[in-house]
Amino acid sequence: MITYLHGSEFCAPQRQKNDDASNSNPGIGDRAFSAAGAAFLTAIIVNPLDVCNDNRYAFSFY
């Protein structure tokens, strides 16, 4: 659709229909799985750092 405004030509935006499943919004199960994976990776990375920090703090008094 072309619209004329003050002598200028504008095209109205058209919606693109995309039936591809990869571009759809993730469902609640997908989000829960992603959150669980992120929590697991965070625990794997942060826990050793906390242990090192606690050991350093505990042994600083000796």
34 alpha-carbon distance from chain centroid: 9
Q: How far is CA 40 from the centre of its chain?
A: 16
**Interval 6-54: pLDDT, tens:** 666 666 666 666 655 556 788 999 999 999 999 999 999 999 888 888 8
Supply the pLDDT for residue 30.
Answer: 95
pLDDT value of residue 57:
82
Taking Cα atoms as reference points, which of 25, 3, 27 lies closest to residue 13? 3
pTM: 0.48
pLDDT attached to residue 35:
96
Determine the pLDDT at residue 60.
Answer: 78
